[in-house]
Amino acid sequence: MNQYDVTVIGSGPGGYVAAIRCAQLGLKTAIIEKYPTLGGTCLNVGCIPSKALLDSTEHYHNAHTTFKEHGIELSDLRVNMNQLIDRKNGVVKANVDGVAFLMKKNKIDVLQGVGSFIDKNHLRITPTGGGEEQQIETKNVIIATGSKPTVLPFIQQDKQRIITSTEALNIREVPRHFMVIGGGVIGLEMASVFVRLGAKVSVIEYADALIPSMDRSLGKEIQRVLKKTGVEFSLSHKVTGATREGDSVTVTATNPKGEEVKFEGDYCLVAVGRVPYTQGLNLEAAGVQMEERGRIKVDEHLQTSVPGIYAIGDVVRGAMLAHKAEEEGVFVAETIAGQKPHINYLLIPGVVYTWPEVAGVGYTEEQLKEMGKAYKSGQFPFRASGRARASMDLDGFVKVLADKETDEILGVHMIGPRIADLIAEAVTAMEFRASAEDVARMSHAHPTYAEAMKEACLAATENRALHM
């Protein structure tokens, strides 16, 4: 029986990063993955393929809408859906092959099959494609099995016309009418993909705002911008059902007046969140305790109720984000090795990869009001940015929230071009507890999108933005 210092169950961003850090720290490490490829949801059917489609469709959209103004004239412009999907698949393969290389480089044993507990120090690996099961002994276990799409009990998903995000990533035709249940991150990203290709797109959301977990100003702005591209929104609508007849899907919902309304299209994406995935782990055999919503109960060290068994990522409390899982993977690896790492969960940014991109970190304005915290706000629009004007990306803004007395930055909320990258400046500043004045006095190259962060900080300190 093979013996390991650490065994990681699940090879998504949390799992494979945890395994790499364990190996770097000199721990004999194995990683168990039930699917043929490594990388988990994120690399195979989540973050990476969706970004590939978002990039491809944004190129196509710009060719249709802005190239002529740039002086670029095209004729007979059309989309090749097969090539679009094939390119996406190539991007996925390159990434998952890269993870396999990293496992080999770091001398991590990859065990193919479903991992389950025999007891706290012994695991069974059952091959999914048949073959002999194996058993291993391990001093520590890191559970990193991720999540799966939430299923609405009153909607039968056939995964052909009534689909999850997994199936949406492989549609090889431009839908006639693509309906999305859920106005969160996944729903808005997939809505963006298909509206750019020319499909009619309708987003049906239960809440009264889009991306409701983020600062409300971001949801209002992205709704305004996506409306311009043709996306139709029905907020405060409670979906009651979805049925398929042939190639047609009908979604029924109750509108704010209590009236039943119907939406008819050829595809319906159900994107109402995700739930932890712990099926088949046999956690009871190890004595691991659970908590509400199917999550694994962990302490401040991400250790479960059983010493030596840890859990990270989507199976524990907190935001379901790949980069949060990565931070937790490193945290647990270093904890096992006897180090004292830290994670500031307030400073894990959230990003939506629409165009314009959306991101936020720290407290929202709504949270500060609820806390009774005295704060000041500074906002700078990209319409006043020279760099944004040059690239014709004038929608959006950067908003900085700072402590009214100390000027410490408490939250930063952005929507605009390249925001997914720009939010890192806000995270860095807040990690070092910078004031708005500190950032305002740092030189930012001109012309850049990042100047909007400096200007928003200037606006937050005595309302002294220079370019508005």
Q: Which residues are catalytic?
A: 446
Could you write out the DSSP letters of every residue in 427-455?
A: HHHHHTT-BHHHHHTS---SS-TTHHHHH
CA distance 192 to 201: 9
Residue 151's contacts (CB-CB under 8 Å, 6 or more residues apart) are 157, 270
Cα torsion angle, 185, 191, 194, 197, sign: negative
Euclidean distance between CA atoms 192 and 159, whole angstroms: 20
Give Cβ neighbours of residue 366 (< 8 Å, ≥ 6 apart).
215, 216
Longest dimension (CA), the chain: 70
First to last CA, the chain: 69
What the block records as the tokens of 314 is: 């989507």
What are the φ and ψ backbone dihedral angles of 138, each rounded to 5 degrees? Answer: -145, 140
- Between the alpha carbon of residue 162 and those of residues 34, 178, 182, 214, 255, the distances in Å are 26, 10, 13, 27, 21
